[in-house]
Structure 1
Amino acid sequence: MSGASSSLRAAFSHCVQQVRNYDYHHYLCLLELPPELRKTAFALRAFNVETSKAMDIASDPRIGLMRLVWWKEAIDKIYVRKQIEHPVAQALASVLSENKISKGWLKRSVEARINDANREISDIPEKIEDLEKYAEDTVSTLLYTTLQAGGIKSTAADHAASHIGKASGLLLLLKSLPYHASRNRHFSYIPAEVAANHGLLVKEGGRSEIHLDSREGLCDAVFEMASVANVHLLKARELSGAVPIEARPVLLESVPAQVLLDSLNRVQFDVFDPRLARGVLGVSPLWYHVKLKWYSWRGKY
């Protein structure tokens, strides 16, 4: 038993380190959770880290896709209690054995990433609603499962989680545009409708492409998408009066979304401005930490 318990401790330690290394702004959010929920939240967030970076770290897109499919199959195995030799899978199996967490939410998040990875280079989302759905499937689902793990049953909390996930997902896609541009995938996360509104959509050879030649047009497109994210944050906060106190630490993930939105505003929505890459989401780590603590202390999100 001591060997198994030592292995499990190592697995959870690995999860914490992965989240700290790859998702620092959310790592700080999870530290504000009640101790009894923290372990589960770190396992879930580490699972998200594994799936979100699968395509980025793969030398060949096919390898990244295989990794995502592996995780989809791993979820099935975990729910029938099959042993998997992977630290995040081991931690996930442990928390799933102790908490009632919907398998559907976990699979939905991986399937959304698989569908995204399978898109052809020329496939451009038509409307911003397509990206809102992707954000819902990959980010809101994390909040749903964490609320489930905490035994929190609240329609208001679920609705707030949906809005926060959409806002966070949209804003992080905007922040990642320079990275995806460097990998020739920048067009993947600007909807055709938004691009057309700001002169970024060009039709060549019978197909549409997004060109980033106009910095002003790009800033305007980013502003339009960020405005949608802002509306989601406002709607989430409008629900705060009906959200149970015990759910609010889970919804603190609205704070990094707001910080990123404010940072985008400061650089006039120019995602290529180097200030966005500084500190934590464009602000000093100390300021970010103080802001998060202030919301947590006041029971706000």
Structure 2
Amino acid sequence: MNGVSSSLRAAFSYCVQQVRCYDYHHYLCLLELPPNMRKAAFALRAFNVETARAMDVASDPKIGLMRLVWWQEAIDKIYANKLIEHPTAQALSSVISESKISKAWLKRLVEARINDASREATDLPESIEDLEKYAENTASTLLYMTLQAGGIRSTAVDHAASHVGKASGLLLLLKSLPYHASRNRHFSYIPAKVAAKHGLLVKEGGRSEIHLDSREGLCDAVFEIASAANAHLLKARELADAVPSEARKALLPAVPAQVLLDSLSRVQFDVFDSRLARGILGKPPLSFQLKLKWYSWRGKY
């Protein structure tokens, strides 16, 4: 970051702190990236933090939605070379001018957040495929942009990134279920078909709702979604030999996804088990960091 203005340095520092504070396992992944990808990746992840948390930090859902629309408009302004007084937007603007990040991908991510935020809590996704589409539009898209910032062009790495993003997105939705339960939104992320299959779907007043009377049913539903995530991780790793070596560190988010999958397995897929909240995704911090370093050093994901 030598040669950049003090305000831009401050903007990038803000992005790093945001990711470190709110997305720590991915913060550790980004530290493993080569410099030509790392700066862009922190700006992109900070943008993701801003949009992912918009609804959570708002006192009113309408205010959260307005914040997301603000980011949607901010993207247009950035590409029109207009100055925006927000550190993440400033860092993002710098990265876009340097790396030619695709506007369509940034818009896809924020529009996925807006569509999700606009749903009612009882407006259930129909199937796991609907959750996969959301994960593709958010988590996978972040990986595509990071790879683009590194100048990497490869069909194999795009396919692998798609699978890693879908796995990561699905698993993080599962991990967030207890949080959304406290905000009466957790039902939104259990597909209707999965809920019906495991006895969680109840029709009341002409609409379907999910009831968690059966912890066993919930664990079975979580297992089914986690199994879909596991299949994506396996597919991503099957492509490893075709993925350029310089691209593999960008796919390190597969490691925290695997850690979370393993942690869910240890608690029999009970997302309310307190052990999942310990350490980093249920794993002791030092153990997590050593695992990540080992994968990075070996050029694996």
Pair 1:140-2:140 in alignment: yes
| Shift in Å, 1:121 | 2.5
Q: Distance in 1 between matches of 2:139 and 2:122?
A: 25
Q: Distance in 2 between matches of 1:23 and 1:256?
A: 11
Aligned to 1:203: 203
| Shift in Å, 1:205 | 1.5
Q: How does 1:60-75 map to 2 (within 5 A)?
A: 60-75=60-75
Aligned to 2:217: 217
Q: Distance in 2 between matches of 1:207 and 1:272?
A: 26
Q: How does 1:205-284 map to 2 (within 5 A)?
A: 205-284=205-284
Tell me the amino acid that sits aligned with residue 290 of structure 1. L
Question: Percent of aligned positions with the same letter in both sequences?
Answer: 82
Q: Distance in 2 between matches of 1:288 and 1:96?
A: 32
Q: Distance in 1 between matches of 2:108 and 2:3?
A: 34
Q: How does 1:14-53 map to 2 (within 5 A)?
A: 14-53=14-53
| Shift in Å, 1:4 | 7.2
Q: Distance in 1 between matches of 2:185 and 2:53?
A: 15
Q: Distance in 1 between matches of 2:186 and 2:100?
A: 38
Q: Distance in 2 between matches of 1:41 and 1:186?
A: 29
Q: Is the 8 A contact 2:36 2:149 kept in 1?
A: no
Pair 1:161-2:161 in alignment: yes
Tell me the amino acid that sits aligned with residue 95 of structure 1. V
Q: Distance in 1 between matches of 2:149 and 2:38?
A: 10
Q: Distance in 1 between matches of 2:169 and 2:71?
A: 21
Q: Distance in 1 between matches of 2:122 and 2:221?
A: 19
Q: Distance in 2 between matches of 1:167 and 1:236?
A: 9
Q: Distance in 2 between matches of 1:40 and 1:147?
A: 10
Q: How does 1:123-138 map to 2 (within 5 A)?
A: 123-138=123-138
Q: Distance in 1 between matches of 2:80 and 2:26?
A: 30
Q: Distance in 1 between matches of 2:91 and 2:43?
A: 6
Q: Distance in 1 between matches of 2:36 and 2:243?
A: 20
Q: Distance in 1 between matches of 2:50 and 2:186?
A: 22
TM-score by length of 1: 0.98
Tell me the amino acid that sits aligned with residue 81 of structure 1. N
Q: Is the 8 A contact 2:219 2:268 kept in 1?
A: yes
- Unaligned runs of 5+ residues in structure 1 are none
Q: Distance in 2 between matches of 1:213 and 1:285?
A: 34
- Deviation >3 Å, runs of 4+: none
| Shift in Å, 1:265 | 0.2
Tell me the amino acid that sits aligned with residue 137 of structure 1. N
Q: SS of 2:253's equivalent?
A: helix
Q: Distance in 2 between matches of 1:240 and 1:296?
A: 13
Q: Distance in 1 between matches of 2:159 and 2:148?
A: 14
Q: SS of 1:113's equivalent?
A: helix
Q: Distance in 2 between matches of 1:32 and 1:195?
A: 39
TM-score by length of 2: 0.98
| Shift in Å, 1:226 | 0.1
Q: SS of 1:165's equivalent?
A: helix
Q: Deviations over 1:65-86 (max 9, x none)?
A: 0000000000010011100000
Q: What is the CA RMSD across the aligned residues, in angstroms? A: 1.1
Q: Is the 8 A contact 2:171 2:261 kept in 1?
A: yes
Range with bigger deviation, 228-237 or 31-40: 31-40
| Shift in Å, 1:233 | 0.2
Q: SS of 1:151's equivalent?
A: coil
| Shift in Å, 1:122 | 2.1
Q: Distance in 2 between matches of 1:43 and 1:4?
A: 15
- Unaligned runs of 5+ residues in structure 2 are none
Q: Distance in 2 between matches of 1:64 and 1:3?
A: 36
Q: Deviations over 1:194-224 (max 9, x none)?
A: 0011000011121110001110000000000
